[in-house]
Amino acid sequence: MMMVNGFTAREAQVGIKQIKDFFERRLADNLNLTRVSAPLFVKPETGLNDNLSGTEKAVSFQMRKYQQNLEIVQSLAKWKRMALKWYGFGNGEGLYTDMNAIRPDEFVDNIHSIYVDQWDWEKVIREEDRNLEYLKEVVISIYEAFKETEDFINAQYPVRLYKKLPDEITFVSTQELEDKWPDVTPKEREHMITKELGAVFLYKIGAALKSGKPHDLRAPDYDDWELNGDILFWNPALGQAIELSSMGIRVDEKSLIKQLKLADAENRMSMEYHQKLLGGELPYTVGGGIGQSRICMYFLQAKHIGQVQASVWTEDEIIRCEDEGIFLL
């Protein structure tokens, strides 16, 4: 019988539903969010699709009867900011939605799949809230939802699950991490600091560090690279760090122009989304994505994301998992 950390496959599906339902409610309450519908695909010329690190190519297709090209969303980072305006959300109010994406450029392994499912959320803020202290307040609110979810699901399965999260999340900048461990890779730094602290918000991702290289790549037209970051947890089931969320305060007019120049992507300024932003038509916002399968994987202590989501895996990955006693959905 297929097992996930002592759960049968059917029991694991019940646990997945319990985690998703509970966390979604806590996230919405803690951040004052309302659920809305979201697109699975967008027109590429609008500039609404997420370019991620700038190298991934979106899945595209054509409405054959209308000769209209469309792209499957890679995330909804920019769409959400437009939606806040369409729906008429005011300061301190926000939205969230279920986002499903296909990322064919992904290398699959224990925590990566070509199928992405996450909660995408976005909230209206004031211009004066565009600072690190406000960002930290938002991160703490999200972390409270994580801790509440852990307490809830552990109470449902007290024998099989145990507490993993520390009482507080620690804030560390990418430059502090490079200064501490200059001779290892950025991913190795993430593993080392997260193993040490348990839960970390690693902030300021995208801009070059003192070494001349960025910690990681970020698209230049949604997060402000000085006001963004990743929520990282130490995953004892795998013995490595796992990213649960990428988020940040979004670019304003000045940071958009600056980052597009740094990324040699100034051609995007002519797109509809970018024109609205530069024209002051869009609200100042903070937002991010939170991985649904990764949350379930973490709290159920699964060893592979394929134990909590149905996707497609390479033959090599299937064989490797079989050798390790990991059964994929």
Q: Which one of 221, 230, 252, 317 is the catalytic residue? A: 230
Could you give the CA distance from residue 222 to residue 66 in angstroms, rounded to a whole number?
30
Q: In the annotation, is 127 catalytic?
A: no
Q: In the annotation, is 243 catalytic?
A: yes
Q: Which one of 18, 75, 113, 118 is the catalytic residue? A: 118
Q: In the annotation, is 118 catalytic?
A: yes
Q: Are 199 and 169 in contact (CB under 8 A)?
A: yes
Instruction: Extract the tokens encoding 169.
Output: 């999340």
In the block, residue with structure tokens 């809830």 = 152
Could you give the CA distance from residue 291 to residue 118 in angstroms, rounded to a whole number?
4
Q: Which one of 109, 243, 268, 320 is the catalytic residue? A: 243
Residues near 230 by Cβ (< 8 Å), separated by ≥ 6?
201, 202, 205, 243, 245, 246, 247
Could you give the CA distance from residue 185 to residue 198 in angstroms, rounded to a whole number?
19
CA separation, residue 181 to residues 74, 157, 191, 216 (Å): 32, 38, 11, 15
Q: Which one of 18, 24, 26, 50 is the catalytic residue? A: 50
Q: Which of 257, 255, 229 is nearest to 243 (CA)?
A: 229
Q: In the annotation, is 24 catalytic?
A: no
Q: In the annotation, is 230 catalytic?
A: yes
Q: Which one of 26, 103, 189, 218 is the catalytic residue? A: 103
What positions carry a catalytic annotation? 50, 103, 118, 230, 243, 246
